[in-house]
Structure 1
Amino acid sequence: MNLRQSLRGTGVAIVTPFTATGEVDYTALENLINFQLGNGVNYIVTLGTTGETPTLSKEEKKEIILFTYEKVGGRAPIVVGVGGNNTQELVKDLASLPLDKAAAVLSACPYYNKPSQEGIFQHYKVLAAASPKPVILYNVPGRTGRNMEASTTLRLAHEVPNIAGIKEAANNLPQCMHILKNRPDHFLVCSGDDDLVMPQLSLGMDGVISVIANTLPKQFTEMVNAGLAFDFAKAKSINDQLLEAYYLLFAENNPAGVKAFLAEQGLITNTLRLPLVPLSAELQQKVAAYLKQLS
């Protein structure tokens, strides 16, 4: 089964819950995994940006991966985030992290270095050769400072073995259209922009790796499933209810927004690791009011 089949639908870029004193809260993480899988999410993405990976130690990353394998228990595929801007260091990570039970590796475009398109291509070519699992590209120029152009994505998809898909989060519908028009049949294309998923599904995307699915998994997966079935009347009706949530989730910072939602739902402690801080009191009140009227 290729990734277009096994990772079709809604993946959740799961947060890393912390205790009030800043340690990884494994009880809350287990509850979150069960909450999301119990409400229709198709697969789990651990150690993504939403998981605050820049502030996790290598040992914590290993422990979180193993814990996630154990608690998911084969109920759904797991994708592991392995990204960064030091290509050779990532090669070492791919060899040392416990990836045996992962369906794929999600790797963000190198940030801060701002490589050329050729540099991006060569970076991923090296990672694909080193990875024991299929590699999903992650294009998120709002965080990395460099857009991976459609031509580079397609070159990787067609020319580099073990490149299996992309999470496209450039907020650029024409770019998505070019990728979808010219991708190989096996190549997974999923969204990384929650607020654009509905129109992207109409273009032929295979699904989404989502932030909002952490907190509103039932509503969001119903919207995605309706879009995948080309029932856009139903998808639009649900999406309209979620528009304010999309804004609140990203108004100040991700994952500060989604952690505010989850804290209001009683699922986690509203703790982040510096340099991230919780939402402002004004936005927190808006989150509480939104959830109250949604219920």
Structure 2
Amino acid sequence: MPLDHTAKGVYVIAPTPFLPDGRIDDASTDRMTDFFLQAGCNGMTILGVMGEAPKLDQGEALDISKRIIRRAGKAQIIVGVSAPGFAAMRALARGAMEAGAAGVMIAPPSTLRTDDQIVTYFRQAVEAIGDDIPWVLQDYPLLFTVQMTPGVIRRIVQDLPSCVMLKHEDWPGLEKISALRGFQADGSLRPLSILCGNGGLFLDFEMERGADGAMTGYAFPDMLVDLVKLSAAGERDKAHDLFDAHLPLIRYEQQFGVGLAVRKYVMMRRGIIGSDAQRRPGSALSARARTEVEYLLGRLGRTDPRARLAPAG
């Protein structure tokens, strides 16, 4: 089904599994897809920041999109199509949608500075891919250095009906969620799904501010599923207790430069993927860092049995 503004739950950001020699690991891709969906994720977002998309050529990007879409069945798959030029963006977007994707995600280039530049860019992007494709607006100023105020987001959403979701990754960003929901309450913003990123670092309070769920990666996406469900059910203390238990590992995974290495290492330890390899250029965990991650897993295992893993080989 095509993506729309009613989307809720967890759309996990999927890394791209690689073999140690840099080739895409098809077997791990299938196993990872199965795990995410069996864990209760509503969908997956692929070829995002943590998917190492810039390291894939156009053919690889479309091939892995098709593979995951086929494997996921009825689950909604969102494909990141951000690219330096609109021709590449259009080719991947149209190809992914023809393969059965639910929608695409577009991030702003770091060159945008004024509000008008931002709005014009997304208008041109929609003209390029076609206004029949539902898309997600990625707001990640810490990485892209593009500041989108709630007012600018409202302009984009109101001007471009095919924008059905905001991937909210501002930091701090709780007041932005409240402002957007306030626009909806006063009728100046049409309905919009808001899913949150940043590794889930603020997901506990983002849900309370009106977010519909998470669109992020974490080595325990099954925990994100539980947290979103608890929060939606009004189980505030249980949601925060669960979040607090995982927070040290979430924080450790949020380190710039090595965060993906941490995530892939724990996913490998959990048996979700076969290797924690990244395609070059990429980072790797030092021996000391691995011992720190193992320590965090041991502490987490005291309260969450999912972290009780066999000793590392």
Q: TM-score with structure 2 length normalisation?
A: 0.87
Shift in CA distance, 118/221, structure 1 to aligned 2, threshold 3 Å: same
1:243 is matched with which residue: 225, 243, 247?
A: 247
Change (3 A) 1:202 1:91: same
Contact persistence 1:128–1:134 (CA under 8 A): no
1:261 to 252, 262, 266: 266
SS in 1 for 2:106: strand
> In the alignment, what sits opposite 1:285?
291
Change (3 A) 1:81 1:103: same
Q: Which amino acid aligns with 2:215?
A: I
Instruction: Say if 1:114 and 1:144, in contact at 8 Å, map to a contact too.
Output: no
The residue that corresponds to 2:238 in the other structure is 234
Which ranges of structure 2 fall in alignment gaps of 5 or more residues? 302-307, 309-313
Map of 2:304 onto structure 1: none
* Residue 88 to residue 123, structure 1, CA distance change in 2 (3 Å): farther
CA distance in 2, matches of 1:271, 1:51: 12
Q: Please give the alpha-carbon distance, in whole angstroms, between the structure 2 residues aligned to 1:84 and 1:180.
A: 30
1:119 aligned partner: 117
In structure 2, C-alpha distance between the alignment counterparts of 1:157 and 1:92, rounded to whole Å: 23
- Whole-Å Cα distance in 2 between the matches of residues 280 and 180 of structure 1? 43
State the percentage of identical aligned residues.
21
Secondary structure of the residue aligned to 2:5 is: helix
Task: State the alpha-carbon separation in 2 of the partners of residues 151 and 84 from structure 1.
Answer: 25
TM-score normalised per structure 1: 0.92
Query: Distance in 2 between the 1:11 and 1:156 partners?
Result: 22
Distance in 2, matches of 1:281 and 1:216, equals 22
What are the ranges of 5 or more consecutive residues in structure 1 without an aligned counterpart? none
Following TM superposition, by how much is the alpha carbon of 1:263 offset from its aligned partner in structure 2, in angstroms?
A: 2.2
**1:2-55 CA deviation, whole Å, 9 max, x = no partner?**
6232x2011101010000100000100111111111111111111111110011
* 2-structure distance, mates of 1:123, 1:14: 26
Give the AA of the match of 1:219.
M
Residues 1:182 and 1:2: Cα distance change in structure 2 (over 3 Å):
farther
Contact 1:177/1:203 (<8 A) preserved: yes
* In 1: Cα distance, 2:89 partner to 2:96 partner: 14
Contact 1:248/1:283 (<8 A) preserved: no
- Which moves more between the two structures, 192-201 or 15-24? 192-201
Larger Rg: 2
Q: Which amino acid aligns with 1:188?
A: S
> Residue 173 in 1 paired to residue 174 in 2?
yes
SS in 2 for 1:99: helix
CA distance in structure 1 between the aligned counterparts of 2:286 and 2:139, rounded to whole angstroms: 29
Distance in structure 2 (CA, Å) of the matches to 1:90 and 1:150: 25
SS of the residue 2:109 aligns to: coil
What is the aligned residue count? 289
Task: Supply the distance in 2 between the matched residues of 1:284 and 1:149 (Cα, whole angstroms).
Answer: 39
Aligned to 2:81: 82
For 1:37-186, list aligned pairs within 5 A. Answer: 37-74=37-74, 76-87=75-86, 89-95=88-94, 97-100=95-98, 101-111=100-110, 113-129=111-127, 130-131=129-130, 132-171=132-171, 172-183=173-184, 184-186=189-191
* CA distance in structure 2 between the partners assigned to 1:58 and 1:197 by the alignment: 33
1:164 CA drift (Å): 1.2
